[in-house]
A and B are shown apart, each in its own frame.
Chain A
Amino acid sequence: MKHISLHQLITFQNKWVALSKDRKKILLAGNTIEETQEKLKKENIKDAILTYIPSTGKYISPVCR
């Protein structure tokens, strides 16, 4: 199954990104949820999905940043 490349995921680590509806493309990115939402509004994109791209060298556990 085709999905976002490793290169892109590494490039956008620690950023909020807007994904296409099928979650296979990164449309744009921002440093915060607000910044990303602002960019979406400016571009008039309404059906994007926000997601946080975590740091590539860390494991995720609940309640940690």
Chain B
Amino acid sequence: MPLIKYSYFPNAFIDPDSGKKKFIFRPLLPIAMRYKNRSASFIQALLDSGADNNLFPASYGESIGINIKKGKLVEHVGIGDASLLAYEHKIHVIIGNYSFPTVIHFSFSQTIPLLGRKGFFFYFHFVKFDEKQHIIELKY
């Protein structure tokens, strides 16, 4: 079974109390999409084991010609009272040498791309987060 391996990606974090600057490492993976023979640039998406579905910024989908508002309207809820509307589309996701057809929800209110369980984790035998070494492993 092939294995895809990436290191976590560093972001900066400034502690609001101490003002100390430090790295915060997040499980961000470079993926690309294909839709009707058009391919989008690679983009980093956050592996989110708490998300049911994939959720991406609408502008990324538009960059490969997806008419976002033609998709089925869906609603996402997350933290607190927040909810947002998104549009469902069938596309191909590419990660490393692996490509598979899946569903992405695109929203005009979402900035950080999220990879969720149903539309992403489902396509792998396992997804391993190594929080000590900052490594993600995906076996398919």
Interface residues of A (CB under 8 A from B): 1, 3-4, 6, 9-10, 13, 19, 23, 32-34, 37, 40, 47-54, 56-57, 60-65
Contact = CB atoms under 8 A, between A and B. Distances in A.
Contacts of B30: 23, 49
Contacts of A63: 55, 76-79, 82-84, 110
A47 to B, nearest CB: 8
B112 interface: yes
Contacts, number: 90
Interface string B11-29: 1111010000111001010
Contacts of B111: 52, 65
Interface in B52-69: 55, 57, 59-60, 63
A34 B59 contact: yes
Contacts of A40: 41
> How big is the B interface, by class?
35 or more
Nearest to B16: A57
B21 A64 contact: no
A13 B79 contact: no
A21 to B, nearest CB: 8
Given A34-B59, A51-B43, A61 B79 contact: yes
B136 interface: no
Given A33-B59, A62-B78, A63-B79, 16 more contacts: A3-B10, A4-B10, A6-B21, A6-B22, A19-B44, A47-B42, A49-B30, A49-B42, A51-B28, A51-B43, A51-B44, A52-B113, A57-B13, A61-B79, A62-B50, A63-B77
